[in-house]
């Protein structure tokens, strides 16, 4: 029983600044939920409210079936991994990991057993006598995780735990965290600003912006069916292309017009859904770079070829990014490295409209 339930929580600071504006979230037992969003979106504040490190202005937080609004952090049965690790510099690795157990008056044998077990799992057994200063960033990160694991708490909280690591180590530790969660499936709330971390780790991703939840869903769902322009742009790298467009109707068929020369027919299965928006002035076509590719064989239904002057070519090895401009708006596509993309030359690209999104820019909603 370690569900976490967040009900209409609000966090206001002096001067009426609202960091979190009344969010609701249900986190199931054993679930790995990632809160993701740009800095200042309220994700860390939400996590700190769950931890009890920030007071809640209004609303309720439930952990394991109990309201914990007025319960101090030490009685919430949670463990937290901080961005800067927050290891006690004057204690050895063993003492750091044992500290919580020692305060909870566990027997020496039990403390040793648990620390050894966690240290073995995290491969830090040979570091137990060292002080944090003598550890590398990755090792410190493991110790911080070990300190959380030994407590066997109801909920793990991670506050941007990988942001201080270099890119290579970050990927490695991401896998470690996933492995640990598979071994110890404790309910986890993980905060990050990195959408790749969110996508790779989460059972469910919560995208936050300006103190509200934009969308909650499984990583694939957020990727394929974003509900707002913010989510569409935030999830996925390189980001989705947003191209201002008009929706035209001619002889019962709909067309997305990007410029005088460029228009794509709307796939038939979307015609009914988009018809009410014909003629609207604030429409934006959302199409991911991976859905703008080089041409190969015959186009399938919903796929359309178009010629474009390529501005910049970025070879990435396994693929090549091409950048071009439509009506003054920069867009990108992902093509095969052997497709012969050359900067400042025209190239025939293929847009896969089956994966398009039509966005109403005034509301920010995906239609």
Binding flag, residue 72, other proteins (CB under 8 A)? yes
How far, in Å, CA of 78 to CA of 96, rounded?
Answer: 16
Smallest gap from Cβ 157 to other proteins, in A, equals 8
- The enclosing H or E element of 292 equals strand 292-294
Sheet order of strands, 303-315 included: 292-294, 346-352, 303-315, 320-326, 329-335
How far, in Å, CA of 324 to CA of 364, rounded?
Answer: 24
Radius of gyration of the chain measured on its C-alpha atoms:
25
Q: How many Cβ atoms sit within 10 Å of the Cβ of residue 346?
A: 11
Nearer to other proteins by Cβ, of 90 and 224: the residue is 90
Number of residues that bind other proteins (CB under 8 A): 26
Contacts of residue 126, defined as CB under 8 A and 6 or more positions apart, other chains included, come to none
Q: Are 51 and 78 in contact (CB under 8 A)?
A: yes
The region of 4-12, 73-81, 116-124, 183-191 touching other proteins under the rule CB under 8 A is 73-81
Smallest gap from Cβ 335 to other proteins, in A, equals 46
The region of 35-43, 97-105, 180-188, 246-254 touching other proteins under the rule CB under 8 A is 97-105
Binding flag, residue 47, other proteins (CB under 8 A)? no
Binding mask 157-176 for other proteins (x = CB under 8 A): --------------------
How far, in Å, CA of 289 to CA of 214, rounded?
Answer: 22
Binding flag, residue 14, other proteins (CB under 8 A)? no
Q: What is the DSSP letter of 202?
A: -
Binding flag, residue 15, other proteins (CB under 8 A)? no
Binding flag, residue 62, other proteins (CB under 8 A)? no
238 prior amide bond cis, ω within 30? yes
Nearer to other proteins by Cβ, of 150 and 308: the residue is 150
Binding flag, residue 233, other proteins (CB under 8 A)? no
How far, in Å, CA of 55 to CA of 24, rounded?
Answer: 17
Q: Are 320 and 233 in contact (CB under 8 A)?
A: no
Binding flag, residue 132, other proteins (CB under 8 A)? yes
Binding flag, residue 73, other proteins (CB under 8 A)? yes
Which of 240, 258, 239 lies closest to 248 in space, CA to CA?
258
Binding flag, residue 252, other proteins (CB under 8 A)? no
Q: Are 107 and 183 in contact (CB under 8 A)?
A: no
The region of 88-96, 222-230, 273-281, 294-302 touching other proteins under the rule CB under 8 A is 88-96
The region of 26-34, 79-87, 209-217, 252-260 touching other proteins under the rule CB under 8 A is 79-87
Contacts of residue 303, defined as CB under 8 A and 6 or more positions apart, other chains included, come to 350, 351, 352, 353, 354
Binding flag, residue 80, other proteins (CB under 8 A)? yes
Smallest gap from Cβ 90 to other proteins, in A, equals 4
Q: Out of 10, 53, 263, 339, point to the residue binding other proteins (CB under 8 A).
A: 53
Binding flag, residue 131, other proteins (CB under 8 A)? yes
Binding flag, residue 103, other proteins (CB under 8 A)? yes
Nearer to other proteins by Cβ, of 29 and 77: the residue is 77
Torsion, Cα 337 338 341 347, to 10 degrees, reads: -130
Binding flag, residue 106, other proteins (CB under 8 A)? no
List of residues contacting other proteins (CB under 8 A): 51-53, 72-74, 76, 78-80, 82, 84, 86-90, 99-100, 103-104, 131-133, 147, 151
């Amino acid at each position: 029983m370690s569900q976490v339930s967040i009900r209409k929580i609000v966090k206001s600071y002096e001067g009426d600044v609202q960091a979190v504006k009344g969010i609701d979230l249900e986190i199931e037992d054993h679930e790995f939920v990632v809160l993701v969003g740009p800095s200042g979106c309220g994700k860390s504040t939400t996590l700190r409210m769950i931890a009890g490190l920030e007071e809640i202005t209004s609303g309720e937080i439930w952990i394991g079936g109990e309201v914990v609004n007025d319960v101090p952090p030490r009685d919430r049965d949670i463990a937290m991994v901080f961005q800067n690790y927050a290891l006690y510099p004057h204690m050895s690795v063993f003492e750091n990991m044992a500290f919580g157990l020692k305060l909870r008056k566990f027997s020496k044998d039990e403390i040793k057993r648990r620390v050894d077990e966690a240290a073995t799992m995290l491969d830090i057994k040979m570091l137990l006598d060292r002080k944090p200063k003598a550890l590398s960033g990755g090792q410190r990160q493991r110790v911080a995780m070990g300190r959380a694991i030994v407590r066997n708490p109801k909920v793990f909280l991670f506050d941007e735990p990988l942001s201080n690591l270099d890119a290579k180590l970050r990927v490695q530790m991401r896998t470690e965290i996933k492995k640990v969660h598979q071994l110890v499936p404790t309910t986890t709330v993980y905060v990050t600003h990195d959408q790749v971390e969110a996508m790779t780790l989460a059972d469910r991703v919560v995208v936050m912006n300006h103190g509200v939840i934009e969308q909650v869903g499984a990583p694939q769902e957020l990727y394929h069916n974003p509900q707002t322009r913010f989510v569409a742009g935030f999830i996925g790298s390189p980001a989705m292309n947003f191209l201002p467009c008009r929706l035209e109707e001619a002889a019962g068929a709909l067309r997305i017009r990007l410029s005088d020369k460029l228009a794509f027919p709307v796939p038939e299965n979307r015609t009914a859904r988009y018809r009410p928006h014909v003629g609207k002035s604030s429409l934006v076509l959302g199409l991911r770079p991976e859905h703008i590719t080089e041409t190969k064989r015959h186009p399938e239904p919903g796929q359309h070829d178009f010629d474009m002057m390529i501005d910049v070519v970025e070879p990435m090895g396994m693929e090549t990014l091409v950048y071009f401009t439509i009506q003054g708006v920069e867009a990108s596509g992902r093509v095969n490295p052997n497709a012969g993309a050359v900067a400042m030359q025209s190239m025939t690209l293929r847009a896969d409209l089956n994966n398009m999104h039509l966005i109403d820019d005034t509301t920010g909603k995906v239609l």
